[in-house]
Amino acid sequence: MHQLSDQQERIKEDYSDINNITYGLFSVQQWKDNVSKIVHHQVRNLKMTRKQKKILQTEVQNVLLALIDKAEALVNKPKKTISGKIQKFVIRNFVNADSIRAQVPAFAKKIIAEVDNPTNKQQLSKMAMGEFNELANEEKLDSAFVSNGASVRALYKQYHVTSTDALNKKLVQSLSNIRSKTYAYSFGMLACVVIVLGFWWGLRKRRDLHTALFVMSLLFAFILLAVGLTASMIEVDARIRSLDFVLLGEHVVFKDQVLFFQSKSIMDVVHVLISQPGIDSILVGVLILVFSILFPVVKLSSTGIHLLGNKKLAENKVIKYFAFQSGKWSMADVIVIAILMAYIGLNGLLEGQLRALHIKNDSLTILTTNNTALQPGYIIFISFVLYGLILSTILKFITPHDVH
């Protein structure tokens, strides 16, 4: 359980890193890659409708007329040299500007026909794509993409893949397998606990076996506590499942853009809080450490010492206090409720915030996903809390010493 929980957390962190919105929807390089595909397709399959040809022909005519007007203005400009005056005389007498203007529509039509020629269109596409590729290859425009490149390549090497799609597919498959194994082990542990409690009921009259049975029960409790404290207990995962919009008549799609991800066990929470510079965070971390980790360990140890130790040790006030009375000061049950309430609160908050991002129309579709969930560590820890209460009750009935 402990190993699978660590493995799952690492894989989910890798998944959230490779699909983080900073390197996806907010990445200049990703946008250039998507737009590049569209431009490649649009330019290589350039087709002009009759209406587009007519509009383009009008534009060409206007450009040609503007050139003729500019040339005529240059010719009519006063000349100071003999050669300039001769050129002006020849052009004014042998070149009819109005006749040239009259031929502009035919010229424009001929130019459009040349542009629409398949051979010329192919050459035009090569020229256009050459310019675009030069721009698309300038990765230095996206510093985040460049800085993340080394970590992405490291992930590819670690998982033996060559693309993000292949990596995502492998990570999702691994997580699915781990989830199945984790829950199988969780329910297996709980089944063992139920079997032990069944032994207590079946052997309740065999006093000679109670001590051995209680020691075994304590070992089970320590295992439940260890796994419950170190396994992931709550996971917060908010992401844009799909963003789909239309650009130049084609769909641009971004999938599984991770907005936020955190997975924490109780030990992780304590470590994070104690590592903070603020005294308030440190105080909360110490309280959780003392009342939800150290107290349960001391309580379980005290019950074993009370049952197995000699009378003097069993009657020790500290041992008796932790074995029978410390439960009211333990915050383990409070932590269980607090985590459940935090889960409900976070889940409702994220659902509301992500629901506000939902957009669905002809040109833009945004779908969000809230994958926040309680993890098997929570199941194990709450089982430990209930199991500990049962063991305390059992100890009162089987102890040979005075518990009052």
State residue 316's pLDDT score. 75
Highest mean pLDDT among 7-11, 78-82, 102-106: 7-11
Which residue would you say has higher pLDDT here, 320 or 111? Answer: 111
Which residue would you say has higher pLDDT here, 182 or 342? Answer: 182
Contact of 380 with 227, CB cutoff 8 Å: yes
Backbone φ/ψ region at 360: left (φ over 0), alpha (ψ -120 to 50), beta: beta
Contact of 260 with 354, CB cutoff 8 Å: no
Q: Which helix (H) or strand (E) holds 87?
A: helix 82-94
Backbone φ/ψ region at 256: left (φ over 0), alpha (ψ -120 to 50), beta: left
State residue 404's pLDDT score. 47
State residue 191's pLDDT score. 92
Confidence bin at 136 (pLDDT 50/70/90): low
Confidence bin at 201 (pLDDT 50/70/90): confident
Virtual torsion, Cα 120, 122, 123, 128, nearest 10 deg: 120
State residue 188's pLDDT score. 92
Residue 392 has pLDDT above 90, yes or no: no
Q: Which of 184-188, 211-215, 245-249 has the lowest mean pLDDT?
A: 245-249
| Model confidence pLDDT, tens digit, residues 215-269 | 888 889 999 988 988 888 778 787 777 777 777 667 777 787 887 777 888 888 8
Average pLDDT over residues 95-105: 77
- Name the one residue in this structure whose structure tokens are 């603020």: 278
Query: What are all long-range contacts of 177-181, with beta carbons under 8 Å and residues at least 24 apart?
Result: 178/4, 178/7, 178/8, 178/11, 179/8, 181/4
Q: What is the mean pLDDT of the chain?
A: 77
State residue 352's pLDDT score. 62
Average pLDDT over residues 2-12: 87
In order of 53, 109, 318, the CA distances from 105 in angstroms are 13, 6, 106
Give 254's DSSP letter: E
In order of 24, 336, 378, 380, the CA distances from 5 in angstroms are 27, 19, 12, 12
| Model confidence pLDDT, tens digit, residues 342-390 | 655 556 655 665 666 666 766 666 666 667 777 888 888 888 888 888 8
- Name the one residue in this structure whose structure tokens are 């269980």: 336
Q: Which one, of 398, 375, 393, 399, lies nearest residue 8 by Cα? A: 375
Residue 154 has pLDDT above 70, yes or no: yes
The alpha carbons of the chain give a radius of gyration, in whole angstroms, of 38
Q: Which one, of 63, 62, 53, lies nearest residue 117 by Cα? A: 53
- 365: tokens are 């579709």
Proportion of the chain above pLDDT 70, given as a percent: 71
Residue 24 has pLDDT above 80, yes or no: no
Residue 91 has pLDDT above 60, yes or no: yes
Average pLDDT over residues 67-83: 75
- 82: tokens are 């003999």
Q: Which helix (H) or strand (E) holds 374?
A: strand 373-374
State residue 173's pLDDT score. 92
Which residue would you say has higher pLDDT here, 334 or 395? Answer: 395
Q: What is the DSSP string of 150-202?
A: HHHHHHHHHHT-SSHHHHHHHHHHHHHHHHHHHHHHHHHHHHHHHHHHHHHHH
